[in-house]
Homo-oligomer: A and B are copies of this chain.
Amino acid sequence: MDAIAARVSEEDVQKFLKSYFDSMTALDVEAIAAHYSPDIIAYDAIEKLEFVGRNAYKAHWKACLDMCKAMTFQPHDLKVHVEGDLAVAHALVRCVATGVDGTEHTGWMRATMAARRKDGAWEIVHEHHSSPFDPTSMKVLDLSPDS
């Protein structure tokens, strides 16, 4: 793949992922799930080791969104690797969620996404969200990129 084709593909993946993160902020579970492959294998930050398939992961997202009045996921310094119809991207993500009781929760997490292009459209085949923990207390660490 030449340099121009690589840059065009990377911009295409950046645009696809911007749409994906925007769908989270819109709390739109249908739009979120529209970015997934039917066969996605997702490692989410909470609840289970893995979610296999779009339907299972969509149900998990719905349960998460039902706990929020508002939410933003802002990726910082998103890195994209792309070759042909395969892409990998990762970023630190600033999360702000407002619970149904109005309480605001903020924090930094990490996100990795792998996507394949099928019939001209990208779809996420794997993603991994997490927060690091302290191995002594086994509790999640509240860290920022500067800490």
Q: Which residues of A contact B (CB under 8 A)?
A: 1, 41, 43-50, 79, 81-86, 88, 90, 92, 108, 110, 112, 114, 116, 125-126, 128, 130-135, 138-141, 143-145, 147
Contact = CB atoms under 8 A, between A and B. Distances in A.
Contact of A116 (B81, B130, B144): B81
Interface secondary structure of A, over-half rule: strand
A75 to B, nearest CB: 13
A49 B79 contact: no
A74 B132 CA distance: 20
A91 to B, nearest CB: 10
A50 B1 contact: no
A19 B88 CA distance: 22
Contact of A110 (B43, B139, B147): B43
Contact of A49 (B41, B108, B134, B138): B108
B133 A131 contact: yes
Contacts of A50: 92, 110, 145
A135 B44 CA distance: 12
Given A83-B85, A86-B88, 7 more contacts: A1-B84, A47-B134, A47-B135, A50-B92, A81-B116, A90-B114, A133-B140
A90 B128 contact: yes
